[in-house]
Structure 1
Amino acid sequence: MLHQPGRTRLTAILAPLALAAALTACGSEAEDSAEGGAPTSCEAADLPLKQDGKLTIGTDSPAYEPWFSENDPSNGKGFESAVAYAVAEQLGFAKDDVVWVKQTFNTSYTPGEKKFDFDINQISITPERAGVVDFSQGYYTASQAVVIMEKDAAKAASLEDLKGLKLGAQTATTSLTAIREDVQPTTDPLVFDTSDQAKQALLNGQVDALVFDLPTAFYITAAEIEGSTITGQFESSEKPEEFGLLTEKGSGLAPCLDEALTALEEDGTLAALEKEWLSDVVSVPVLK
């Protein structure tokens, strides 16, 4: 066999290059498969969770009626607590495998790593928020409502009336966005860090009226602010507002939450829970 030095040198050069290319390709495939954290299935054991075998759910504290009950998300009472446990069951978790953590509303949708698998807290799905977190499909469609003291109710009988009032809402909520974009009052709305501060401002006469999502408005007028009433609801000029389950950006959990919510919608569970916990939300006039 003749010695071929040229061929030997060429082989020596190409072999490492081929190996490097193969390793790079393997690494790229691994990165692609890991990107987004998508689970191989929606079985509980395959989900990308913060704690193995546990489903960690975030919400604010206090946790308000009618979304929760007795400020205790873990009791399964209130619409969102009941929805959360129904989703957990669909995903294969027993009630004892659900862990609740506190997460303030206006920090739930900021960028970065989360301490929960999903958050449920009347968080409206918006394009801006969806840029930094992921959402499930909607589990509830909400409209905005005006809460005012009964003695002043005649002052808020239409959207035109609202323009001249001093309005208020909690910071970073779609209620505040609705005031600015759909009502467009002549005076800038007052903005409050919490809904408790907003309610106290109404009692103190600092604002003429407040805007909340309709079920919350019902609870406030029925159980929290004596002598208050709802003058009506108004619908956003954009597509209907929906609340979604919020997850960390790229966690990969959202498709499985969608699967669970679709099953709960198709078997009537979501409608039944809405009727059970939000049944008072009926016959409210739409402000024109």
Structure 2
Amino acid sequence: MGYQKRTLDRRGYLQWTGAAGVAATAGLAGCLEDAENGDDDSSADDDAGAGDEDDNVIVPGTAPGFEPFQMNVDGELVGFDIDLLEAVVAETDYELGDWEELEFDSLQPALENGNIDVIAAAMTITEERQESIAFSEPYYSADQSVLVQTGGDVQAEELEDLEGLEVGAQSGTTGEGIVDEELGDAVDYTSYDNYVLAVEELERGTLDAIVIDEPVGDSFAGDRDVEVAFTFETGEEYGFAIRQGEEEIQDALSEGIEAVEESGEYDEITQEWFGE
């Protein structure tokens, strides 16, 4: 999908609820190509200063199905992360390339392999992830929520109340980590490629509860037959992920986040997607 200005806001998105899904791309685009010119005999020094337009293009990757951060609605990629990265990159000397849409747990390998240059997918900054990738400055803070079926039999007020139940989360997310670390074998756990699938199972009653990022849980609760049972405080922060060693891109994104916040555009994007 080409990079373009997104015009579908959260109000428009709600009209399409249920259409969100994951459109995993079959092939990943190359990125940050070397400025090599094989058509003439110019020296490497000349090429290094040629300013090939591809040098400033960074390819973004995301994982649709994590509303309202990123969703694929009626064939269009929309959401908070999409609009925010667009605004942030506009404050830098870089240009945004075509978006790659992947499953969440495929994003980090794609980044490390050089198939994408930045992850914009509500990715929590963790020490474990920082061992292999780097992050921009944080751009959003969140906790974890537990979703249950509206009007269902599950009455939960804390994690221990989920013991013995069917619990789900999205593969590779903080929610999955919470289930593993806090509940372990005390629950019957199911991992999903994306939260849309998990919520559908919850609505059907084949799943008892979902552990999910708080703002995403609130979004699902607003337009699905699910509700937030309680919130588990984690104090996590989201950042744009980049490869280690890409300090120029890292600094540019961090400075772009600061510029967007100072200009008030961050508040506008937040209001658009969260009504805050």
User: Is the pair's TM-score, using the shorter chain for normalization, greater than 0.5?
Assistant: yes
The aligned counterpart of 1:18 is none
Report SS of the residue matched to 2:211: strand
Residue 268 in structure 1 maps to residue 268 in structure 2: no
Q: Which residue of 2 aligns with 1:197?
A: 197
**1:181 offset after TM fit, Å?**
2.8
Task: Give the Cα separation in 2 of the matches to 1:49 and 1:206.
Answer: 54
Give the drift of 1:177: 1.1
* Structural RMSD (CA): 3.1
Letter in 1 for 2:220: I
Please give the secondary structure, in 1, of the residue aligned with 2:54.
coil
Letter matched to residue 55 of structure 1: I
Q: 1:254 to 1:218 in 2, by over 3 A?
A: same
Unaligned residue ranges in structure 2 (runs of 5+): 1-48
* Deviation digits for residues 87-121 of structure 1 (CA, Å, limit 9, x no counterpart): 11111456xx5422223310222373222221101
How far apart are 1:64 and its partner, in Å?
4.2
Aligned length: 226
CA displacement, residues 172-191 of structure 1 (integer Å, 9 cap, x when unaligned) = 11011122334567224222
Unaligned stretches of 5+ residues in structure 1: 1-45, 281-288
How far apart are residue 212 of structure 1 and its match? 1.3
Structure 1 residues 31-87: Cα deviation after superposition (integer angstroms, max 9, x where no partner): xxxxxxxxxxxxxxx9x9993343321112x45431235538977x52111111111
- 2:89 aligns with 88
**Equivalence map 1:54-73=2 (5 Å):** 54-60=57-63, 62-68=64-70, 70-71=72-73
When Rg is computed on C-alpha atoms for both structures, the one with the higher figure is: 1
Tell me the TM-score normalized by structure 1: 0.68
The answer as to whether partners of 1:139 and 1:270 remain within 8 angstroms in 2 is no
TM-score by length of 2: 0.70
Would the aligned equivalents of 2:62 and 2:101 in 1 still touch at CA under 8 Å? yes
Larger % of helix: which?
Answer: 1
Give the Å deviation of 1:141: 0.6
Share of identical aligned residues, percent?
A: 28
Q: Distance in 1 between matches of 2:228 and 2:168?
A: 14
Alpha carbons 1:157, 1:231 under 8 Å: kept: yes
> Equivalents in 2 of 1:63, 1:208: separation in Å?
20
Asked if 2 retains the 8 angstrom alpha-carbon contact of 1:153 and 1:231, the reply is no
Of the three residues 210, 214, 230, the one matched with 2:228 is 230
Kindly provide the amino acid, as one letter, of the partner of residue 82 in structure 2: S
Q: Aligned runs of 1:101-250 on 2, under 5 Å?
A: 101-110=100-109, 112-152=112-152, 155-182=155-182, 186-223=186-223, 225=224, 227-236=225-234, 240-250=235-245
Distance 1:274 1:185, change over 3 A: farther
